[in-house]
Chains A and B, each alone.
Chain A
Amino acid sequence: MHLQLNRSKLVYRYIDNRCRCDFVYFLVIRFSDGCVVFLRIEMTSKGIENVNPQRFTKKTKREITSEEEDESVEDPIDEREIFDLLRDINDPEHPMSLEELNVVQITNIEVDDKNNSVKVFYTPTIPHCSMATLIGLSIKVCLLRSLPPRFKIEVNISPGSHASEAAVNKQLADKERVSAALENSNLLEVVNQCLVKSLE
């Protein structure tokens, strides 16, 4: 279904129990004349939800120290390195990066190189963001592709920042469902679009 909607004439929001957190989403649109429309959101469509998100300033480029250029010095993966991998991921809805939307922050990344552990907590822009699972999946895929396979990657929503936090976290932690999701070519395409570096 293809709908042309005049945004100034309607109120719309996502309803929790309709958000199945299963990589498929339902949007409820309430028109000002009282009419209610349910829409199933395909992952390839663009439904802008948080219409006017706040833009945050970007971090400066990482300064490369002489020690880091020295190949003989062991250089464990640190929080800043993970942040640099994630900062340019595109938001699925807005032409902005996850860094600009404050979805990923360096203070919400925990790395323990010795114990092969990387934990990322990300913060959806609004507590009902239906794109939360997709954003988390993009972060997970980005790290799976970039880090050596020894790392155990945990991606979670920052505590208290999303209405369906537990359900989204559980799904992102389920490697079997993540594997199956990434075999879905439509979904994979959307994830890849999020991961394409913008040509700034």
Chain B
Amino acid sequence: FNIVFGMARLDELCKLPGHQGIVWNVGWNQEGNILVSCGEDKTIRLWGRNVNSDWVCRSILSDGHQRTIRSVSFSPCNKLIASASFDGTCCIWDKSTSAEGNQYECTATLEGHENEVKCVAWSASGSFLSTCSRDKSVWIWEVGEDGEFECAAVLNAHSQDVKKVIWHPNQDILASASYDNTVKMYCEEDDDWVCFGTLKSHESTVWSLAFDSTGKLLATCSDDRTVKIWKEYLPGNEFGVATSDNKPTWKCVCTLSGAHPRAIYDISWCHQTGLIATASGDDAIRIFRIDPESDPNAPILEQLITVPRAHEQDVNSVIWNPCIPGVLMLTSCARHLVRHQFRP
């Protein structure tokens, strides 16, 4: 996948109207052929192609939540969808075995958070689900084979509202981003979940974060209008970065400032191409990559594209298609979604 610097383009493919009010989050299924979205109208919508290859709304899941649905995510097996809501709960939707392919029903409601649940994420193995909330806590749920969910940990490491949780692409390591300006990392140790690292450098709310395909780099974006790249340094690393308790240290190796005039609400790191896309409060989408010539311990982010008016309002979320390399990307804002095609 070669990118000719300065030649890249981002073309709008289609708009998907349907939601009423703010669309907060979008996600792909693992095959990259079904899209799920959620928002202020308390519904979850599934989108797919019809016989003419047009993207259409295939089904609407409602009645699960009483308030805004902030986050939605497909399980790694594609069978389940998890949704997190301002009503303080997380719903699990199960694909029924009926003839129609896209019928889901709410089979479990995970309760426990004191107030708004901000994000829900499945681990790559599918064994864990994590939720985070304005109540400052991160919860880890163990997914049983019988469809039962059991709370495995309540982590109170953050001092403020937790905005986002994501799992490492191939290990059971969790990262969370918060209104307290920090990112925290968690792993399992002797049957207990512990926080093993606090990533401090942002000067305001960290809205989102994304691992690269190897899980050795992490990108974060913030209300402070910067993007930061963090690198994992294992114990005994050759660069002399200190570690403690035989745990890796995450160090900020790159700060990109000046590219975003307003808050950056989401970031997505394409595991196929290595491209990084950001969603910003200035209505724009931007695409970056790490300059392959730059020092891995001090990488340089180069900006490939800016689409200044990608939406009429704030761009809330951005996500690369997991299968079609670097080609499809989707963002959301008020009332509609827009699907984009990246052309290198």
Q: Is B204 an interface residue (CB 8 A)?
A: yes
> At the interface with chain B, which of A50-58, A92-100, A119-127, A167-175?
A167-175
Please give the distance in Å from B231's CB to the nearest CB on chain A: 28
Q: Is B22 an interface residue (CB 8 A)?
A: yes
Q: Is the CB of B163 within 8 A of A176?
A: yes
Q: Is the CB of B134 within 8 A of A177?
A: yes
CA distance A179 to B85 in the complex (A): 12
Q: Is the CB of A174 within 8 A of B313?
A: no
Q: Which residues of B contact A170 (CB under 8 A)?
A: 179, 204-205, 223
Please give the distance in Å from B119's CB to the nearest CB on chain A: 11
Q: Is the CB of A152 within 8 A of B262?
A: yes
Per-residue B-contact encoding for A117-145, CB less than 8 Å = 1, 0 else: 00000000000000000000000000000
Interface size class of B (residues with CB under 8 A): 20 to 34
Please give the distance in Å from B94's CB to the nearest CB on chain A: 27
**Of all chain B residues, which has the CB nearest A173?**
B223
Q: Which residues of B contact A176 (CB under 8 A)?
A: 70, 118, 163
Q: Is B314 an interface residue (CB 8 A)?
A: yes
Per-residue B-contact encoding for A5-47, CB less than 8 Å = 1, 0 else: 0000000000000000000000000000000000000000000
A residues 157-175 near B (Cβ < 8 Å) are 170, 173-175
Q: Is B212 an interface residue (CB 8 A)?
A: no
CA distance A177 to B134 in the complex (A): 9
Q: Is the CB of B68 within 8 A of A179?
A: yes
A residues 164-200 near B (Cβ < 8 Å) are 170, 173-177, 179-180, 183
Q: Is the CB of A180 within 8 A of B68?
A: yes
Interface size class of A (residues with CB under 8 A): 10 to 19
The A contact surface, by secondary structure, is helix
B residues 87-144 near A (Cβ < 8 Å) are 115-116, 118, 134
CA distance A180 to B24 in the complex (A): 12
Q: Which residues of A contact B134 (CB under 8 A)?
A: 177, 180
Q: Is the CB of A150 within 8 A of B163?
A: no
Please give the distance in Å from B177's CB to the nearest CB on chain A: 12
Q: Is A76 an interface residue (CB 8 A)?
A: no
Q: Which residues of B contact A150 (CB under 8 A)?
A: 312-313
CA distance A155 to B341 in the complex (A): 36
**Of all chain A residues, which has the CB nearest B263?**
A173
Contact of A174 among B70, B205, B282 (CB under 8 A): B205
Q: Which residues of A contact B70 (CB under 8 A)?
A: 176
Please give the distance in Å from A176's CB to the nearest CB on chain B: 7
Q: Is B233 an interface residue (CB 8 A)?
A: no
Q: Which residues of B contact A174 (CB under 8 A)?
A: 179, 205, 223
CA distance A173 to B118 in the complex (A): 17
Please give the distance in Å from B47's CB to the nearest CB on chain A: 23
CA distance A174 to B163 in the complex (A): 11
Please give the distance in Å from A61's CB to the nearest CB on chain B: 33
Per-residue A-contact encoding for B194-211, CB less than 8 Å = 1, 0 else: 000000000011000000
Q: Is the CB of B281 within 8 A of A152?
A: yes
Q: Is the CB of B161 within 8 A of A177?
A: yes
CA distance A174 to B115 in the complex (A): 16
CA distance A177 to B68 in the complex (A): 12
Q: Which residues of B contact A180 (CB under 8 A)?
A: 67-68, 86, 115-116, 134
Per-residue A-contact encoding for B247-289, CB less than 8 Å = 1, 0 else: 0000000000000001100000000000000000110000000
CA distance A170 to B262 in the complex (A): 14
CA distance A110 to B312 in the complex (A): 22
Please give the distance in Å from A32's CB to the nearest CB on chain B: 37
**Of all chain B residues, which has the CB nearest A171?**
B179
CA distance A179 to B179 in the complex (A): 15
Please give the distance in Å from A147's CB to the nearest CB on chain B: 12
Q: Is the CB of B312 within 8 A of A149?
A: yes
Q: Which residues of A contact B334 (CB under 8 A)?
A: 149
Please give the distance in Å from A180's CB to the nearest CB on chain B: 5
Please give the distance in Å from B76's CB to the nearest CB on chain A: 27
CA distance A176 to B282 in the complex (A): 16
Q: Which residues of A contact B314 (CB under 8 A)?
A: 175
CA distance A185 to B115 in the complex (A): 15
**Of all chain A residues, which has the CB nearest B207?**
A176
Please give the distance in Å from A119's CB to the nearest CB on chain B: 12
Contact of A149 among B67, B281, B282, B313 (CB under 8 A): B313
CA distance A180 to B85 in the complex (A): 10
Please give the distance in Å from A151's CB to the nearest CB on chain B: 10
CA distance A175 to B40 in the complex (A): 13
A-B contact pairs, 5 of them (CB 8 A): A149-B312, A149-B334, A150-B312, A170-B223, A176-B163
Give me the 9 closest cross-chain CB pairs, A-B, nearest first: A180-B116, A180-B86, A183-B67, A149-B313, A183-B86, A183-B68, A179-B68, A150-B312, A149-B334
* A residues neighboring B (CB under 8 Å): 149-150, 152, 170, 173-177, 179-180, 183
